[in-house]
Structure 1
Amino acid sequence: MSEPEVEAAKVVAEPLAGEEIEDEKVGFDIDDLPLQHILLFLPWIQSELPKERMLKLYDDLFEMTDEQADEIIDSMAIKDGDEHVKDIFTAYHKLFRSDLKIARRISKWFIEKSGNPMAKRMLFNDINPGAFKVYKKEFLGNPQKPDIVPKLAANLPIIEIADNLKKHVTDQKYKEIAQDAKEKYQKNSLAAMWYARCEFLINFITIKPNTRKPENWFYEFIMACSHCPRTRAYAFYIDKEYQRRIEEYQIKLSAESAAPAQFTADLVSDEGPKDPRPQSEFGKKPSHVTGESSLSNYCLYKYQEELAGQAKDGKNCIICAPTGSGKTLVAVDIIADHLRKKRALKQVGRAVLFVPTIPLVEQQSNYINEKIGTEYYITKMSGDERTKSSHERLVDIMAGDIIVMTPQIFINMLLSPLKSQKIYLSDFTLMVFDECHHCNESHPYNVVMDNVRNAEIRPQIVGLTASTGSGKSKGGKINPEDTLNHIIALCARLLAVTISSVKIKQNVEDLLSRISQPVDDFIAVPSPPQDKFAHEIALISDFIERDMEEDLKVLQTVILSLSNDQIKLPKEEDPTRQGGSIYLPNGSSKTSVAYYSKMAWIKSEVGKHFKDMKDRRLYVKKCLDLLDMLYFALKYNELFPAELAMNYLESRLDQFADEDLYVGRESNCVLSPEKLASLRELFDNVRAQVNDTKEFMEGSESKPILTKLIEILQAESETSRIIIFVDMRKVGSDLSKYLNKRSEIINKFGHEKVGYIASTNQASSRWGQTQADQQMMLQKFKDGSINVLVATSVAEEGLDVAACNLVLKYNSVGAEKSLIQRKGRARAKGSKAILLALEEKTMRREFENVRKEVLMNICIQALQVMSEHELTRRIKEKFDEMKTIAVENKRREQDLKRSRTTIYELCCKECSQVFCRSDEIFSLNNNEYICCNRDCWYNTKIKRRTALKERGQTVTIQCGEWLCHCGQKRGNVIKYGGTYLPATASASFNIKVINGTEEHITKSWDWLKQYKFNVSPITTKELHEMAASLFNYNQDMYKEAEENGNIAALEALREDKKPYRKNYNLKD
């Protein structure tokens, strides 16, 4: 880009520096027109200028040099139509780009002296304010692309764009613009095309549509460009993130039209159907579903028939078999058998297969379709169906014979109070839980089963797992009775009456012959006893700890939990070390789990007491942020050359400075000038010390664990398939890049033969991965395009990552379930599973997992040799025990409620407005506290949360912050079961007895429940009452919540990549 072009771009972009300007003037000043805008009107400007030699008379007016005037005159002299247009276009672009002042003077003359109708439009005085702001931001405000408008004016394929608009847009005004441009464009001359493109863009930007908002013209434009390959390139040029923006716009449109006209009419009745609603009520099946038997499409081995036997007899059971044994095919056979029996009895049958992750929805639905897709209609639902309405999603589920879905979607629709999205347990006759060991207290699987256990009409339940787990043993010791109880409790939660595994001798032999049994190997590769680089980094931690000691001691006077022992962190420079361990100058004093846990505990305790000594509390938290960076840099240094650890640390320090974190702004607390100066001084000292450690990096480049890893990879054959498990996404990303650069790996496998796979629900993170990227990487591993796959835990469970002959765990150890799942990825004969461990205790943890695996298998065998009567009795006893505990908890809750007669009012901490009573608060999943007062929305607003934290497995959607009219945050607006609910934060309010004095609250919800008032779990009654409350109070707020919630869901499911953000954390 030339220097004048850069300057012109700056002129265009200046008004958009920083945040968008509120209440800015609409239209341009005649003396300050942006270059791109002038070029948009160039066809009419040049047509009005004096011709050829007459232009010389205007030299003084336009202040052109003779040379500039001659170039314009020469371009006019060419008589051939198309060549004439090309020369005029080139000459004026050259002139205007080289001298913006001349361009503005000529434009001013055109506006003031010309009678051309386009002259009156050039200042954009009549444009919608929102549309004008979007024009300046999206087309004129990008200094990296100062030529969006002229490129579109010169090249935009009008015919295709017009056809796309007429086909896909319903607003008549857009159709009229499209038709007009198409007619003018088809005159088949360059001049006509040039005029048509520019007029089309002007009309599009200034449109006043019938049914769309004028400021949405940009989204309509890139959407029109996105429908065919030729025009899609223009959408990509304008914004590489065009797909993401279109998705968000579609969500916005959906939210604007989503609010039902009358909630009351759509509310479900108390009585649900007793029998499954037939598929025929929800539409026709696709033509490929013929209903003909698909028995010939698959065949079970004898051991698989044994596994399926109890479930095919109609029993609730857990099928436990090794990874790679074909449990999914067993599930297919069970489902098909169940539906065939229902069909033979002329009864409605519908099966649902629950999977814990989104990638598994696609994988399992494809697999089932392949086997029985012509006999039964298979549908899927993961939350990725964001362009569909709630009713369309309901139809997709209810029209299917077999539905593959994540449990969160099922729960939301099951609990919905709206007919348009309501499903019932009675609609399903069979539920299959893939990876059913997840069915514990907090997982959505157990939320589903909670509803099933409390239902009168229950479907058949089948669980699939390679590992039931061994549970938590008392005192940390491995105890067979505890493991038995854990497995029986899992059965009770799933209402299983038995466990099905392979017992018949011949079948066991057949199973063992068909699956690999990887040999477990443990290799200790300790860090070097001396590491000067790590030692110096750890000394910087000592420096920070000493700096915050005084503040911690003062805080001890108000935070009683901070005892001397609890705030004392181990020092790198202390040769005695706590516990008398041997002193190693290699940074290991700062890399233990105990060290990090202690840091996290201190930060948590300091954070709880926000009222007292805010200044000191905030200072300590910032010091702990710095310690956190150093801790992860040291952990990184254990696994990689020091240079990579330094790169990580410097990027975190840059973030600390660039994002103004060390200035110390936090909610309503700002550091005092003295503390702010202290923190800046500390930060500058830390940065200087970190810079000084660079001289020691060279001596810390070689890492024994990395050397051993490469040595093991080199020993494999060129056709080997290897999975390397790591704990952190960034480690996985960097390890794959590092190995691809190593000559030993290139010589063994070839170039770019190491891939990387991470979770798809971290798309907003730098090291997350989209589902498309994940599937592509898995396919490359399957077909041999890559030999080595570095993976986080996403590849442990369920995903078919093909047969591989070596699993390496790069200082990565989970629970025994992880051990079993990871070993299961190695499916080739003679495969191995190797743990490379930095510390002996890491090896002990893995060895403990092996013992737990053995114990689990022994316990499963013990349960199977029990008589059916005895096993059923023990499971029933556990179920009754769980039921008794639930009943007792409910009784205690009711007793507590009766004993507490005081009712409190909850009032805003800032303005004291009362918004709820204590008897109107209900708990949701024991972690959200909902204000169930339909009038609580009064005088409040919803604010979009700019950074939604990934919450993992959850049944609620965050829809923004709930703010009081005074600006104080009350909590969050969440969506649960299709209903928008106000979740209240304990830190946001004070309480008072009705007509009493206000009491300041600094405690948690647990404290409030224990000492102040009772909180009952939310029921469908409260959901019904709150269902219409937000919509009835303010439809605009309802639409905003709908849009925010859909975007929040989209962020976790997005297929296209998001731009790199600096706000990251090394922690997975």
Structure 2
Amino acid sequence: MDSSNVVDMRASVREAVEEGLSYPVQESPLDTVDEDISQEAQNLGSLEESEPAEEPVIEVPSNDTRSFEVEPLIQAPAPTVSDDETLYNRTADETLSSSETSDLELRNYQKELAQPGLEGKNIIVCAPTGSGKTRVALEITKEHLDKADRGRRKVVFLVNQVELMEQQLAVFKKNLTGYRTIGLSGNVDTKVPLSELLPKNDVIVLTAQILLDQLRDNLLKIHDFSLMIYDECHHTKKGHPYNNIMAFYIDQKLDSPVADWHPSAIQERLPQVVGLTASLGVGKANNNETAIEHILKLCANLDTEELSTVVQHENEMLQYVNVPKSDIVPVGERAMDPFKDIITGIMEEIENKIKDLHGQHQLKERSATDLDPPADKGKGPYTQWVHSLKKKIAVIDEQKIRWSCFACWTNLLTYHEALLINEDSRTIDALDYIRSENSKRSTHRNLDIDNWLQQLFQEKEPTISEFAANDTFKNPKLVKLEDMLRKAYEEKPDSRGIVFCKTRALTETLKNWMLETESLKALNPKCLVGTNAAVDKKGMTSSQQVDVLSYFKGGKVKLLIATSVAEEGLDIKQCNLVIRYDYVTNEIAMVQARGRGRAEDSQYVLIAGGRGTAEKEELNVIRESMMKKAICAVKQMSPQEFKDKVRRLQEEVKDERMMRKTAQSGAAAEDEHELQCLKCDVFACLSSDIRVIEKSNHVVVDEEFMTRVEVKPHPNSQRYGNMEKTGKLHCTKCDSAWGIQCLYKRMAFPVLKLESFLLEDKNRDIKMENKWKDVPFKVRKFTSEDWKKIAARQ
């Protein structure tokens, strides 16, 4: 690596070591959603927009009666795999030990972490990746079960991802002898509810949404458990299932008449709470005071009595925790970019066409300044502008004008996204994207405007094709990435590397580029993306993830190209190279990605383009240091001061929650709306005919709805959770895409794509929303009565 192009960050790591909490700070990509929303995070939401909801799959309880065993942690001098961030779906033997198992014997720093939990306190265990947080949790769990009243000892271990349930279940089943352990996740449908499984088991490992559903349906109470363990507990904030579960806990605590919050009745006793994390983060803090406040809020959300970090035995811990060398490699933009110049010119003509429509027809409530786009196309501000433009077009009264404007908007969006692809990939990839999107255009055309839009591109296409084939206009970021990977694998042929990038689409284009590049195709690169993609978007199933990770571990695949899904939980001891491809969000994701480098002499590199990426990363290092100082400040508070601050924050959050609930109950009153086709105004359905299945899949139960759509075969039929997409729904009048058809438990359901519709209320006011959570009406749950009616029809 050219040292002249490298900004060395090792000094910041040494400084962090000297500041008293010398470990790499991690937090999950979910936090990125709260602060710097990445494209990957924006793809998460509902089935038609993101993930299928969870329903439990049952793991058979273990009757293992072997002695209590656990994996030896990282052995000096070479760091190896940690016990709490292992390969998805590994067996218990693989998860716990690479040699032979042994009786649980904590190291001194692990005993320090566990001690307050062994005393029965509510704690957050904050320690670095590879330090053995699950090992600590096991010791606390075993001690708790050994001492708790037999009829009351019920432990729940909560995880944030379906894949992580399997690995943690393997750990607990292997090591908790004499106790019944079961696992539940959202992969497969089951008719056995958690409330019926709990009395027969001592430990349940499950994804958080399952427990939250049971609490909301009043099938379980918080005090049904005696110990709750939250894996990656930094997610316990805002609307995350962890935080919603703890809201039940906090409400019961604050509503207790006993001054010290402990109810006297044994059946009402609140459980002990243990959180596990490698990072508490600093949220949006910009100074030490707000960083401390952020940590206190997290402590309040988890009702924490003590932050458990390593202080006395820090030197011992550092022997077993590997911190990769971190570098930033600045890379400039193309010296000449004729593709961008040509596409920008086409976009300007389309923008002017929209303004002409405004001038000719005086679109009501639309000033010319509203239609002025940012000058720099293919950048963040333009993304915001083009998406806001769609809502402005949606409420135009005159149908013909709206059709014309909408056709222009669709093309603008395609060209804008092509510029984004061109910035990170090859020009040919961007050109292929435009061709692909153009081929999907509706056959029911508004001929004048559509022919004009087609002609704009067709006139320039031959010239763009010539530029795409010219090596003079190669992407410098790809040149640097190729050089970096080639050198790394020449020096260590058995290396394993991970390249993190922004979106699923980019993982595919990078993989295709590598397979077509002679020096890289032998690495056999594979993509690793989330299982919670929309059914009409390309994602991965859990089994596909497992296969890819297995190949990566075994060396058949030497390079993964991943989205943020791999930042948390992936741990391969051979991985010695982690590259973030011009992709920076916050300090949390930085440390998560950095922590994937497990082998000795690992390297973490950021390839930084010319849009402030390097500066953002340097700021993240500062924020990481700020968090460590804030933790020290919180730990220096007296027990009473800490308790008072936590209580105050809990009361404030409860008040806010109650106010929000009151406001939502008023806003969500049954206010009937019509859903109309965005393009042609035709009636689609009433809001009262919409139901939600598995909390994220919005279907229409009106039997007349199918007369208003044409169902076309889906080119990528695939199962996601309990849903299998089988077709695409199109408006019979204008052929606009309305959503997809899915099979759910062998019944066909139309699943709506909200952004394809206008919402008209009883006063004839029209609006448009992109997310179901923002609609101005309440969507009812799919009930057994709905099921009977649909079954009778089909």
| TM-score in terms of structure 2 length | 0.72
Question: Over residues 894-916 of structure 1, what are the superposed CA-to-partner deviations in whole Å (9 max), with x where a residue is unaligned?
Answer: 8x79xx9x997667889999989
Written as runs of structure 1 = structure 2, the 5 A alignment for 1:367-382 is 367-372=171-176, 374-382=177-185
Contact 1:930/1:984 (<8 A) preserved:
no
| Counterpart AA for 1:645 | T
Cα distance in 2 for partners of 1:439, 1:921 equals 31
Question: Over residues 208-254 of structure 1, what are the superposed CA-to-partner deviations in whole Å (9 max), with x where a residue is unaligned?
Answer: xxxxxxxxxxxxxxxxxxxxxxxxxxxxxxxxxxxxxxxxxxxxxxx
> Cα–Cα, structure 1 residues 460 and 1027, in superposed 2: closer, same or farther, change >3 Å?
farther
Contact 2:419/2:430 (<8 A) preserved:
no
Cα distance in 2 for partners of 1:429, 1:690 equals 65
> Cα–Cα, structure 1 residues 396 and 623, in superposed 2: closer, same or farther, change >3 Å?
farther
Cα distance in 1 for partners of 2:682, 2:524 equals 62
| Identity fraction in percent | 26
Kindly state the Cα deviation for residue 723 of structure 1 after the two structures are TM-superposed. 2.1
Question: Over residues 286-344 of structure 1, what are the superposed CA-to-partner deviations in whole Å (9 max), with x where a residue is unaligned?
Answer: 5x3338655854332221222222222222222211122222222222222222222xx
Contact 1:294/1:375 (<8 A) preserved:
no
> Cα–Cα, structure 1 residues 1033 and 375, in superposed 2: closer, same or farther, change >3 Å?
same
Match among 636, 642, 645 for residue 874 of structure 1:
645
Question: Over residues 397-441 of structure 1, what are the superposed CA-to-partner deviations in whole Å (9 max), with x where a residue is unaligned?
Answer: 664332222222333344447xxxx44434432222222222222
| Counterpart AA for 2:651 | D
1:728 and 2:533 correspond: no
**Segment drifting more, 788-797 vs 406-415:** 406-415
SS in 2 for 1:836: strand
1:355 and 2:163 correspond: no
> Cα–Cα, structure 1 residues 906 and 652, in superposed 2: closer, same or farther, change >3 Å?
closer
Cα distance in 2 for partners of 1:802, 1:949 equals 35
Contact 1:719/1:787 (<8 A) preserved:
yes
Cα distance in 1 for partners of 2:387, 2:759 equals 26
> Cα–Cα, structure 1 residues 502 and 622, in superposed 2: closer, same or farther, change >3 Å?
farther
Larger Rg: 1
Cα distance in 1 for partners of 2:534, 2:309 equals 38
> Cα–Cα, structure 1 residues 763 and 399, in superposed 2: closer, same or farther, change >3 Å?
farther
Match among 483, 489, 492 for residue 291 of structure 2:
483
1:438 and 2:235 correspond: yes
SS in 2 for 1:432: strand
Contact 2:531/2:541 (<8 A) preserved:
yes
Contact 2:414/2:437 (<8 A) preserved:
no
1:1002 and 2:766 correspond: yes
Cα distance in 2 for partners of 1:961, 1:1030 equals 23
Written as runs of structure 1 = structure 2, the 5 A alignment for 1:521-670 is 521-551=327-357, 553=359, 557-560=363-366, 563-564=368-369, 567-570=372-375, 589-607=376-394, 609=395, 611-640=396-425, 644-657=426-439, 659-661=440-442, 663=443
1:678 and 2:452 correspond: yes
Kindly state the Cα deviation for residue 688 of structure 1 after the two structures are TM-superposed. 5.3
1:1030 alignment partner in structure 2? 786
Contact 2:429/2:509 (<8 A) preserved:
no
Cα distance in 2 for partners of 1:948, 1:441 equals 38
2:480 alignment partner in structure 1? 707
Cα distance in 1 for partners of 2:136, 2:750 equals 41
| Counterpart AA for 2:452 | S
Question: Over residues 624-649 of structure 1, what are the superposed CA-to-partner deviations in whole Å (9 max), with x where a residue is unaligned?
Answer: 33333333333333334xxx432442
| Counterpart AA for 2:645 | R
> Cα–Cα, structure 1 residues 628 and 922, in superposed 2: closer, same or farther, change >3 Å?
closer
Where does structure 1 lack aligned partners over 5 or more consecutive residues? 1-254, 256-281, 571-588, 666-670, 993-998, 1041-1068
> Cα–Cα, structure 1 residues 621 and 649, in superposed 2: closer, same or farther, change >3 Å?
farther
SS in 1 for 2:281: coil
| Counterpart AA for 1:660 | R
Match among 399, 408, 412 for residue 213 of structure 2:
412
Written as runs of structure 1 = structure 2, the 5 A alignment for 1:235-246 is none
Contact 2:158/2:205 (<8 A) preserved:
yes
Contact 2:158/2:206 (<8 A) preserved:
yes
| TM-score in terms of structure 1 length | 0.55
Bigger relative contact order, structure 1 or 2, given CA contacts below 8 A and separation 6+?
2
Cα distance in 2 for partners of 1:974, 1:768 equals 16
Cα distance in 1 for partners of 2:328, 2:122 equals 39
| Counterpart AA for 2:127 | A
SS in 1 for 2:629: helix
> Cα–Cα, structure 1 residues 636 and 888, in superposed 2: closer, same or farther, change >3 Å?
closer
Cα distance in 1 for partners of 2:544, 2:697 equals 34
**Segment drifting more, 775-784 vs 509-518:** 775-784
Contact 1:531/1:699 (<8 A) preserved:
no
SS in 2 for 1:375: coil
Kindly state the Cα deviation for residue 531 of structure 1 after the two structures are TM-superposed. 2.8
Kindly state the Cα deviation for residue 704 of structure 1 after the two structures are TM-superposed. 4.9
Question: Over residues 731-755 of structure 1, what are the superposed CA-to-partner deviations in whole Å (9 max), with x where a residue is unaligned?
Answer: 3234345445545457xxxx34544
Cα distance in 1 for partners of 2:304, 2:633 equals 16
Cα distance in 2 for partners of 1:914, 1:527 equals 49
SS in 2 for 1:805: strand
Cα distance in 2 for partners of 1:847, 1:622 equals 42
| Counterpart AA for 1:499 | L
Cα distance in 2 for partners of 1:985, 1:742 equals 41
Written as runs of structure 1 = structure 2, the 5 A alignment for 1:778-797 is 778-797=549-568
Kindly state the Cα deviation for residue 522 of structure 1 after the two structures are TM-superposed. 1.3
> Cα–Cα, structure 1 residues 428 and 970, in superposed 2: closer, same or farther, change >3 Å?
farther
Kindly state the Cα deviation for residue 687 of structure 1 after the two structures are TM-superposed. 4.2
Contact 2:758/2:766 (<8 A) preserved:
no
2:188 alignment partner in structure 1? 385
Written as runs of structure 1 = structure 2, the 5 A alignment for 1:158-557 is 286=62, 288-290=63-65, 293-294=68-69, 296-342=102-148, 345-372=149-176, 374-386=177-189, 389-391=190-192, 399-416=200-217, 422-455=219-252, 457=268, 458-473=270-285, 478-504=286-312, 507-551=313-357, 553=359, 557=363
Kindly state the Cα deviation for residue 558 of structure 1 after the two structures are TM-superposed. 2.2
Cα distance in 2 for partners of 1:709, 1:762 equals 29
Cα distance in 1 for partners of 2:401, 2:675 equals 26
**Segment drifting more, 332-341 vs 870-879:** 332-341
Q: RMSD across aligned C-alpha pairs, in angstroms?
A: 5.0
Where does structure 2 lack aligned partners over 5 or more consecutive residues? 1-54, 71-101, 254-267
SS in 2 for 1:324: coil
Cα distance in 2 for partners of 1:911, 1:788 equals 49
Relative to its length, the structure with more helix (as a share) is 1
Cα distance in 2 for partners of 1:957, 1:316 equals 43
SS in 1 for 2:192: helix
Cα distance in 2 for partners of 1:714, 1:763 equals 37
Kindly state the Cα deviation for residue 856 of structure 1 after the two structures are TM-superposed. 0.9
Kindly state the Cα deviation for residue 806 of structure 1 after the two structures are TM-superposed. 2.6
> Cα–Cα, structure 1 residues 441 and 284, in superposed 2: closer, same or farther, change >3 Å?
closer
> Cα–Cα, structure 1 residues 680 and 352, in superposed 2: closer, same or farther, change >3 Å?
same
1:1064 alignment partner in structure 2? none
> Cα–Cα, structure 1 residues 949 and 395, in superposed 2: closer, same or farther, change >3 Å?
farther
Contact 1:969/1:988 (<8 A) preserved:
no
